[in-house]
Structure 1
Amino acid sequence: MPIRAILVKYGIYIVLLLLVFFFSVASDAFLSVDNLLNILRQVSIVGIVAVGMTFVILTAGIDLSIGSIIGVSAVLAAKLMLFGVHPALAFVLTLVAGIVIGLVNTYFIHEIQIPALIVTLATLTALRGIAYIITGGLPVYGLPEGYSFIGQGYVMGIPVPVILMLACFAVGYFVLEKTRFGRYVYGVGSNEEASRLSGVNVRKIKYIAYCLSGFLSALAGLVLLSRVNSGQPTAGTGYELDVIIGVVLGGVSMNGGEGRISGVITGILIMGVLTNGMILLNISEYYQLVVKGAVLLLAVSLDYVSKKRRVKVAHT
């Protein structure tokens, strides 16, 4: 196999290995078991949301509201429990709220035909405002003692958030790779009109994709709430950037219809390793933002260059 083909197929995995090697040499603490588990715990919330974002981007959409859904879900669940609602019921009601937000997003995107970028940017802003209204701008404390297990507990030495992330990736992989719905998701992203003419219910596919994104964002908000043990109105701020970087870096095309969930896992791990390594090396948070922005620009550029080359080859 030519070197170029190897880099195209396995490049993202090579990048991950190189990053691990570099930071393990640069910092003695990087390869410790505690730090590796910490990396997995840190990326777990982003990873959970990334599964839903993968479905959305595969349909050639985008969901910028995920960070605000995380925040409003965290404060909503915290307030419900503070008012005496059983934690299990608060959990379910919050997940339902995430689905409802997904329905609202899809309604304006598909029925009103407003670009997904505009719709989800609007809900991002509105939901963040709702989070502040619910809390009065103050953190919500006083959660039930047992609730912290979801974000801070361990099962056989593995953090619970990591288990939830892996479960989400496993289900996402099965749905995309082994089911008819997964094939339809790829079809809608590749050519929506052709999918419609083939009898695919495009409307249904889009609704499910955005509702899944809302559901998993709400789940991430519940995990984050348990992890910090308080409902913060600012929770989830900026997460949309980390999620999109991880998904696109993992090989999912912003044009839709291309990408694999296995690549997304690797993309999320790359961002986690990069962030953790820079923290261990005491690199300023300001520089970390520059690096994240550069990585996103590079990933999207590679996606568009690759797309143009495939189109050029197809026409020759």
Structure 2
Amino acid sequence: MQEVEKQKPKSKRFDAKEIISKMGPLLALIILIILVTALSPDFIAPTNLLNLLRQVSVNALIAFGMTFVILTGGIDLSVGSILALTGAISASLILSGMPGWFAVICGVALGAVFGCFNGALVAYGKAAAFIATLATMTIFRGATYVFTNGNPITGNKINNNFFFQFLGRGYLFGIPFPILIMLVAFIIWYVVLHKTAFGRKTYALGGNERAAFIAGVNTKKTTLLIYTISGAMAALAGIILTSRLSSAQPDAGTSYEMDAIASIVIGGTSLAGGKGRMSGTLIGALIIGTLNNGMNLLGISSFYQQIVKGIVILIAVLIDRKKEKA
């Protein structure tokens, strides 16, 4: 009886730690918002908040797709290059006279194909995800420069295409359309990850791939689909960014993979795989966006901003490793 009684308080403390762990990213976001608002009251201006969310939408879309990848213990370094290449191809299709909706579908489909290629290298080629996507990151970036000849793709057909322009610059009910796309994507991927068999397979793959295989999970097919999702989401983000800028820049998306990874890790997803939530990724993207926006409002040099973001990522990684050891 005494042993049972001694274990009860321990169980309660464990539950408290779990709650704090899950609420940590949200508490960090709230504290960051309060701090930035105190230093710059302009931060909470409605126009700035909408602009902040519109900027966050691109990173969040990339991060939603990569969350699946990191939950399996993998990584996708090619998302920034996929963003640039699919954005350039979509813009060129519009310039060639194709309808905006068709160019968007082609861009997202190509992103899915590129992601599928990454998945094939990892699942069937047995290549380490880091090395495979590092290689394809270089290949896709080089392909972007070849395709664009190193020059931005722009023109009146892009500027005057209502459908394409609306994706990145339109408003619906006074809210920038990219924000609505981000929210819809979040709901879809939240349900897929947390309420479907595919989501359970993703967690199982990240927890123990061999055990998942023995349990009947088609690990190769699941891995292939996960990287396909990552590529498609990067492409969608690239199309929105191209629409917002009214041009496709050959160097678009540079280092975007770092912001996406930072958002996911800060949101509580383990780099070792098997642990994390889609809601945490959204909160992490908001933290990164708030940090960027706040430093811009405070007039902090972009050089120092890189240092601050690096420190934040390092802290998040160290916390993640400490959790794994606990």
C-alpha deviation, 1:6, in angstroms: 5.0
> Using the alignment, how far apart are the partners of 1:101 and 1:261 within structure 2?
23
| TM-score under structure 2 length normalisation | 0.92
> Using the alignment, how far apart are the partners of 2:113 and 2:283 within structure 1?
30
Alignment partner of 1:247 is 2:260 = no
Larger mean CA deviation between 170-179 and 140-149 belongs to 140-149
Letter in 1 for 2:55: Q
C-alpha deviation, 1:144, in angstroms: 4.8
Matches within 5 A, 1:287-302: 287-302=304-319
C-alpha deviation, 1:55, in angstroms: 0.6
| CA-to-aligned-CA distance 1:117-157 (integer Å, 9 cap, x gap) | 01101111111111111111111111151121110111001
Match of 1:281 in 2: 298
Letter in 2 for 1:137: G
SS at match of 1:205: helix
Alignment partner of 1:187 is 2:204 = yes
Letter in 1 for 2:126: Q
Larger mean CA deviation between 139-148 and 199-208 belongs to 139-148
| CA-to-aligned-CA distance 1:37-85 (integer Å, 9 cap, x gap) | 1110010000111110001111111000000000001111111111122
C-alpha deviation, 1:300, in angstroms: 1.1
- Unmatched segments (≥5 aa) in structure 1: 310-316
Matches within 5 A, 1:18-57: 18-57=31-70
Match of 2:183 in 1: 166
Match of 2:4 in 1: none
Q: Which residue, 239, 250, 271 being the options, matches 1:233?
A: 250
> Using the alignment, how far apart are the partners of 2:57 and 2:18 within structure 1?
31
Q: 1:32 to 1:109 in 2, by over 3 A?
A: same
| TM-score under structure 1 length normalisation | 0.95
SS at match of 1:133: helix
> Using the alignment, how far apart are the partners of 1:162 and 1:31 within structure 2?
17
SS at match of 2:41: coil
C-alpha deviation, 1:7, in angstroms: 3.4
Contact 2:43 / 2:294 at 8 angstroms: preserved in 1? yes
Letter in 1 for 2:144: A
C-alpha deviation, 1:279, in angstroms: 0.4
SS at match of 1:84: coil
Contact 1:51 / 1:169 at 8 angstroms: preserved in 2? yes
Larger mean CA deviation between 84-93 and 41-50 belongs to 84-93
State, as a whole percentage, how many aligned pairs show the same letter: 44
C-alpha deviation, 1:306, in angstroms: 0.5
Q: Which residue, 106, 116, 121 being the options, matches 2:134?
A: 121
> Using the alignment, how far apart are the partners of 1:122 and 1:5 within structure 2?
38
> Using the alignment, how far apart are the partners of 1:256 and 1:24 within structure 2?
35
Match of 1:75 in 2: 88
Contact 1:81 / 1:144 at 8 angstroms: preserved in 2? no
> Using the alignment, how far apart are the partners of 2:103 and 2:294 within structure 1?
36
> Using the alignment, how far apart are the partners of 1:172 and 1:10 within structure 2?
20
Size of the aligned set, in residue pairs, is 309
Match of 1:306 in 2: 323
Letter in 2 for 1:91: V
Contact 1:66 / 1:213 at 8 angstroms: preserved in 2? yes
- Unmatched segments (≥5 aa) in structure 2: 1-11
> Using the alignment, how far apart are the partners of 1:4 and 1:199 within structure 2?
33
Q: Which residue, 65, 70, 77 being the options, matches 1:64?
A: 77
Contact 2:118 / 2:132 at 8 angstroms: preserved in 1? yes
SS at match of 1:121: helix
C-alpha deviation, 1:8, in angstroms: 2.2
| CA-to-aligned-CA distance 1:192-237 (integer Å, 9 cap, x gap) | 0000001111111101100000001111111011000001101111
Match of 1:98 in 2: 111
Shift >2 Å, 4+ stretches: 1-9
Contact 1:71 / 1:234 at 8 angstroms: preserved in 2? yes
> Using the alignment, how far apart are the partners of 1:247 and 1:9 within structure 2?
13
| CA-to-aligned-CA distance 1:235-290 (integer Å, 9 cap, x gap) | 11110010000001001110111001111111111111111000000001011111
Match of 2:289 in 1: 272
> Using the alignment, how far apart are the partners of 1:5 and 1:307 within structure 2?
13
Q: 1:6 to 1:173 in 2, by over 3 A?
A: closer
> Using the alignment, how far apart are the partners of 1:172 and 1:9 within structure 2?
19
